[in-house]
Amino acid sequence: MKASLRYPKTMIDESLLAKVASLSPADRLELIGVVWDTLSPEDLPVTDAERALLDARLVDMERNPDDQCSWSEVKARLERLTR
């Protein structure tokens, strides 16, 4: 783990960071998922600006359902663009 990416010592124990850094990338990704699953919606603050943007996008989606793309369509489009 790069020193510039570390949290201040007061937030996370250095030995814990060292253990995490020693994990394989796959294990670190699994750990991220496990930690993420411990969070509740109340743990993830949303600013007023973010809430307004989400609300506007939801209204647009409800008004224009035919303008939406499935994840598989978006993924296929991105894969074509990166070839």
Task: Give tens-digit pLDDT for 32-41.
Answer: 999 999 999 8
Residue (of 21, 27, 24) closest to 5 by Cα position: 21
Which band of pLDDT confidence, cut at 50, 70 and 90, is reported for residue 12?
confident
Q: CB neighbours of 69 closer than 8 A, spacing ≥ 6? A: 77
Give this prediction's pTM: 0.49
Distances (CA, A) of 63 to 50, 52, 54, 57, 68: 20, 16, 14, 10, 11
- Between 5 and 40, residue with greater pLDDT: 40
- Whether the predicted pLDDT of 30 surpasses 70: yes
The pair of structure tokens assigned to 58 is 């939801």
- Tens digit of each residue's pLDDT (9 = 90 or more) over 48-79: 999 999 999 999 999 999 999 999 999 999 99
Q: Where are the domains of the chain?
A: 3-42, 45-81
